[in-house]
Structures are given as structure tokens and as C-alpha cells.
Amino acid sequence: MNKDIKRIGVLTGGGDCPGINAVIRAVTKTAMNDYGWECYGIRDGFLGLIENRIEPLAWDQCSNILTMGGTILGTSNKANPSRFAVGKDKNGEPIWKDVREQAMQHYREHDLDAVVVIGGDGTMSCAATMIEMGGRFVGVPKTIDNDIMSTDLTFGFQTAVEIATDALDRVHTTAASHHRIILVELMGRNAGWLTLHAGIASGSDVILIPEIPYSVDKICEKCYDRKLHGKHFTIIAISEGAKPEGGVQTIKRRISDSPDAIRLGGVAHVLRDELEELTHIESRAVVLGHVQRGGSPCADDRVLATRLGHAAIELLANKQYNELVVMQNAQLSHVPIDSVANQQRLVKPDDELVTVARSVGTCMGD
């Protein structure tokens, strides 16, 4: 047993997603049951480390949470210790400050020997800057976007695909009944994995992802071709980060005090208006939004989250610090956290799933 470890912290950063509590459960119960370590919960991600909101986690607190959505620890997607908004200047612009030493002081005050960070690329980027300050961390990859480098799969993704697929399935009947084009806008930021998987699973006629800029004319051709062959409706799965050829992504709003200020959204409404005007086919847009993040994780995500949480503790037990647990070729492995920081795993235009989609007649917008 690693005698350097007696007490660990756990934090969950970034957007919530199904399966976080399953990881918390696996991390804490493995640490307590197998190694006798004390566990402390850090509230609201790195914000809790910055503001010293750290408290003991008991076995009972981490029981009966496997199936719960969200995170019992809370989360934040604004708290980057190396670039933290501490107020606003006279022009209303954020004042940024490096508060990593403050966060490390709280880390030391609570005698934490290491922290398990559960999050996406932003959370791992924050962890990488804290490693520079002397902290010991182990990462667990969490995101419905499935866009963390070096891992084939993140927990939360499979549940989000199920939710998105169900939504796409459900609009088929109303689209067919009313002879409409229906666009369903899905999350994913700059990565199209969620839209690609859900689009294929639902048999969507058009799949639009950020990595392949779309031509409105090509989409119109697909709608006309379907109508010519007796299909008087079209289902379009579109990622929030999709953009037209030569164009830019649709920005819903900007949040000035967030390190990642841009929030995408609304492209389905923009494209709906264009398609309706050009095709004269009645069109509707559905933005699925945060429904994709909520609710109980599917069985596969519960199993994956439990495996990842257990693997994180095993890394600490073996003194393998500052590593991210990853899934590669269906096997658990690990890579340095700093090797995935400030990066996103994107869909390649020649990815096997893109080829498969094209082969079954799906329009990819190009």
C-alpha cells in the first residue's frame, strides 16, 4: 500500500453529466474499503479549492448515488485557478488573477495527499496548471462531448447518445405526418461525436458536424431527392458547433467572467429559416439543450464510471501521480494529464463512422 497517501480530495469540474456520482462512489469506496484512506469532497470544482470549501466525505454520503444524475459535490465551469475573475474594472470587464497559490494553500491546510479530478478538457487543463504548483492529481475523463484527447470514450457520452437518439426517433413521426424538415440541435461544442453517433443510431437523413462545414445547397438537394422518391420529410441531426462553408459558428452568447467565454447555440434555427425559404418545405427546429446532460446514467455509463473511478485510486495506490485514466482499444490505461490539456479530440473527416454514414445514404452536408 502507498503509505504516502492517507487523505485524498475529490472534485467535479465543468458541465455536469450522467455518471459523475457513480465515479465519486467508486473513488471514495475504493479508497476507504481497500486502503483505509480518508476522503474529502471539494465543493463546486476548483472553486471549492480556491474558496476553501472542503469537507469530509463519509461512506454513507457516497452510498445510493450510483444512479443519480448531476454531482453531489456541485460543479463550476468558470473557476480556473490560473485565470480567475476576482471582480470587474470600471468598464465592467473582468479582472483576472492567478490564485493557484491560494488554492494550494487550502490543499495543504487540509493535509490532502492527492486530489481526484473528474472533468473534461477544461478541468484537466486546470489540473495541469496546479500540478506545476506541486499538487498531486489523478484525472477521470468526463464529458458528453467525448472530446478528451487520448481516450476513446468518456463516461456520460453513452447516456447522452441514448437521450439524443430517442429525441431524433420521436421527431420522425411528426416530421412524416406533417411533411416537414425537422432539425434537432445537439451539444458537442467543436466536436461532432455526439451528433454523429446519435445521427447514425436514429437513421437521420442529414448529419451536420463542426468538422465538416456544410453547404446549404447540398442539404436542399437531399431534401428534394427524398421528396422525389416519396419521402416527404427530412430529419437533420445538427451539432451546435456546425457551420456553413466559408462561414462561422453561431454564437448564442458570451459570458465575460468565464475563461471559455463563448457559448454556441442557435444554428438549427438559422439553418431552418434558410431551408424553408429555399425549399418551400415547412421546417421546424428543436434545440435539445441541457436535457442531454441530465438524468440517470445508462447501464454502460454506470459500469464505465465505476471502472474509471476504481482505476484512479489504483493509480494513486501505485504512486502514479498526475495521470489521467483513459480507455484505449477497450482497455483501461493512463496518460499524463498535461498531455491532454488545452486540446480537443475531434472527428476526422475520413473517420470510419463518417464513411459508414455516407455509405448508407446519409448526407454529411458537403
| Residue bearing cell 470587474 | 88
pLDDT number for residue 255: 73
End-to-end CA distance of the chain: 56
Segments making up each domain of the chain, as ranges = 7-155+297-339, 159-294
pLDDT for the residue numbered 1: 66
CATH of 7-155+297-339, one of 2.40.10.480, 3.40.50.720, 3.40.50.450, 3.40.50.12780: 3.40.50.450
- Read off the C-alpha cell for 138: 489523478
Residue 259 confidence (pLDDT): 66
Query: pTM score > 0.85 for this model?
Result: yes
Number of H helices, E strands in the chain: 10, 15
pLDDT of residue 315: 97
Catalytic residues: 145
Mean pLDDT by 10 residues, the chain (366 residues): 89 94 98 97 96 96 95 92 90 90 96 97 94 96 96 97 97 94 96 98 98 97 94 97 94 74 87 95 94 95 98 97 96 96 94 97 96
The answer to whether 7-155+297-339 and 159-294 have equal CATH topology is yes
User: What CATH architecture applies to the domain 159-294?
Assistant: 3-Layer(aba) Sandwich (3.40)
Residue 365: predicted pLDDT: 96
Burial 343-362 (b: 16+ CB within 10 A, else e): eebbbeeebebbeebeeeeb
Q: Residue 77: helix, strand or coil by DSSP?
A: coil
